[in-house]
């Protein structure tokens, strides 16, 4: 059985999934796993498609001290215990910059190009690329495909992507990219199955998680996003501030004498829900806390989401549906209720029972727009892209290793 390996690497974890690469229809998920606690208390966990546990094992910190170590450990287990030898590997790469607007087969030149975008996504890009680099060295004939979180937004009109700064900066790549594109692309495709009429219309999708953003879809195409040049803009996130007056950066440099490294650490690790609450960056902890600072952080998050909904409605010229997805969007009935409660001016009406049980359709029949909860599946999207690109190579007469 041909298989596709999907890898999503972070700073302290490597998530992986294995899909059967059927010649017809969607790739079928076979295994879902991860190694977390890298360098501290690494632990390998994996389950089958039906949820049955396949392994739950602690590994030595010396044995798995880096992301490449974790990739090697996961690969060895897949090979030895599961007889998995993938025909290709698909990677989530957060930033494709101005050059990459679709999935691409990775070689040394592509890897070098993508490494240059690391300052634009310092939490993600270096870690996304670490497994790519290892596999290029160890298995140079194994096809690897980069799937970008920015690519889905590349069809924006210029008026949506420009900053009001001199043209030379745009030419250098300083523009609004948008992120979470793999998630939005999946939702756009899923909506065709869930509600075809809605999929052809004007839809706002709220990808609410530790990283959060919102996207305006028109006919399944991204026309506007809350995220911009980097993954710092827009909504407040777990540890990132969201929208920020550039004058704040000038103040930190001029008055606080903070270096670029200090500001990067502050904005990526010490802001957002964590800073607002003083407690945690985890929405679950904030919702269960009796501390008024936690309540304020939750209210701030919902308030900003409602504000951005208004912006996206303006970009679309109206709205037919609103979709919640990702960790908070799929699991927090309270957050959904608070956000929808601020959208009454649009005619949004929540069905409390449907919302509490996280049904697919959570709005009343009289609601305009319709309200949905649709789980995202970025890994399936990556597997689809990888299989499609490998299929093109086969048609062209190139056989994957």
Long-range contacts for 343-349 (Cβ within 8 Å, ≥24 apart)? Answer: 343/306, 343/309, 346/309, 346/313, 346/319, 348/322
Q: Which residues make beta-bridge pairs with 89?
A: 5, 144
Residue of 129, 128, 45, 145 whose CA lies nearest to 86: 145
Tell me the torsion sign for CA atoms 57, 58, 61, 65: positive
Output DSSP code: residue 227.
-
Residues 221-248 as b/e (b if ≥16 CB within 10 A, e otherwise) read ebbbbbbbbbbbbbbbbbbbbbeeeeee
Cα–Cα distance for residue pair 283/288, rounded to 1 Å? 9
Residue 13 is predicted with a pLDDT of: 84
Mind giving me the DSSP string for 84-123? ---SEEEEEES--TTT--S-EE--HHHHHHHHTTGGGSTT
Return the ∠ at Cα 351 (arms to 349 and 355), rounded to 5°. Answer: 120
Output DSSP code: residue 346.
G
141 part of the active site:
no
Residue 24 is predicted with a pLDDT of: 66
Residue of 385, 379, 384, 330 whose CA lies nearest to 32: 379
Residue 398 is predicted with a pLDDT of: 54
Cα–Cα distance for residue pair 213/232, rounded to 1 Å? 10
Residues 229, 233, 237, 238, Cα dihedral to 10° = 60
Tens-digit pLDDT string for the chain (401 aa): 899 999 998 777 899 999 998 766 789 999 999 998 888 899 999 999 999 999 999 998 888 988 888 999 999 999 999 999 999 999 999 999 999 999 999 999 999 999 999 988 888 899 999 999 999 999 999 999 999 999 999 999 999 999 999 999 999 999 999 999 999 999 999 999 999 999 999 999 999 999 999 999 999 999 999 999 999 999 999 999 999 999 999 999 999 999 999 999 999 999 999 999 999 999 999 999 999 999 999 999 999 999 999 999 999 999 999 999 999 999 999 999 999 999 999 999 999 999 999 999 999 999 999 999 999 999 999 999 999 998 866 545 555 44
User: Is the Cβ–Cβ distance between 368 and 347 less than 8 Å?
Assistant: yes
Q: Which two tokens stand for residue 231?
A: 């993954």
Residue 258 is predicted with a pLDDT of: 98
Residue from 149, 161, 233, 320 carrying the catalytic annotation:
149
Residues 5-41 as b/e (b if ≥16 CB within 10 A, e otherwise) read bbbbbbeebbbbbbbbbeeeeebebbbbbbbbbbeee
User: Is the Cβ–Cβ distance between 242 and 272 less than 8 Å?
Assistant: yes
For 271, how many CA atoms within 13 A lie in the half-sphere containing its CB? 19
Q: Which SS3 state, helix, strand or coil, does residue 216 take?
A: strand
Residue 12 is predicted with a pLDDT of: 77
Q: Residue 179: is it exposed, middle or buried by C-beta count within 10 angstroms (0-12/13-18/19+)?
A: buried
Residue of 151, 160, 231, 157 whose CA lies nearest to 188: 151
Residue 132 is predicted with a pLDDT of: 95
Residue 395 is predicted with a pLDDT of: 46
């Amino acid at each position: 059985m041909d298989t596709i390996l999907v890898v999503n690497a972070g700073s302290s974890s490597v998530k992986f999934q294995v899909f059967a690469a059927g010649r017809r229809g969607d790739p079928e998920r076979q295994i879902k796993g991860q190694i977390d606690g890298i360098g501290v208390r690494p632990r390998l966990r994996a389950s089958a498609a039906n949820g049955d546990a396949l392994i739950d094992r602690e590994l030595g910190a010396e044995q798995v001290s880096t992301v490449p170590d974790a990739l090697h450990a996961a690969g060895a287990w897949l090979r030895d215990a599961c007889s998995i030898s993938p025909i290709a590997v698909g990677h989530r790469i957060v930033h494709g910059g101005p050059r990459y607007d679709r999935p691409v087969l990775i070689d040394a030149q592509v890897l070098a190009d993508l490494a240059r975008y690391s300052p634009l996504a310092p939490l993600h890009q270096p870690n996304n690329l670490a497994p790519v680099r290892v596999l290029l060295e160890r298995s140079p004939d194994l096809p690897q495909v980069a799937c970008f979180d920015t690519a889905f937004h590349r069809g924006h009109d210029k008026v949506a992507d420009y900053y009001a700064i001199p043209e030379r900066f745009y030419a250098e790549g300083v523009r609004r990219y948008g992120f979470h594109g793999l998630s939005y692309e999946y939702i756009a495709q899923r909506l065709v199955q869930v509600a075809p009429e809605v999929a052809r219309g004007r839809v706002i999708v709220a990808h609410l998680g530790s990283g959060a953003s919102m996207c305006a879809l028109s006919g399944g195409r991204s026309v506007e996003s809350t995220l911009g040049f980097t993954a710092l803009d827009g909504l407040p996130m777990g540890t990132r501030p969201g929208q920020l007056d550039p004058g704040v950066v000038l103040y930190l440099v001029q008055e606080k004498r903070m270096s670029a490294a200090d500001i990067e650490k502050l904005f990526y690790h010490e802001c957002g829900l964590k800073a607002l609450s003083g407690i945690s960056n985890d929405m679950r902890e904030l919702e269960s806390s009796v501390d008024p600072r936690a309540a304020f952080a939750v209210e701030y998050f919902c308030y900003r989401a409602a504000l951005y909904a208004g912006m996206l409605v303006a970009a679309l010229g109206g709205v037919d549906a609103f979709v919640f997805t990702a960790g908070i969007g799929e699991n927090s009935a309270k957050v959904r209720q608070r956000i929808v409660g601020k959208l009454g001016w649009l005619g949004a009406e929540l069905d409390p029972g449907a919302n509490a049980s996280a049904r697919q359709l959570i709005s009343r029949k009289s609601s305009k727009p319709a309200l949905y909860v649709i789980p995202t599946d970025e890994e399936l999207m990556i597997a689809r892209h990888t299989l499609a690109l490998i299929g093109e190579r086969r048609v062209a007469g190139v056989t994957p290793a």
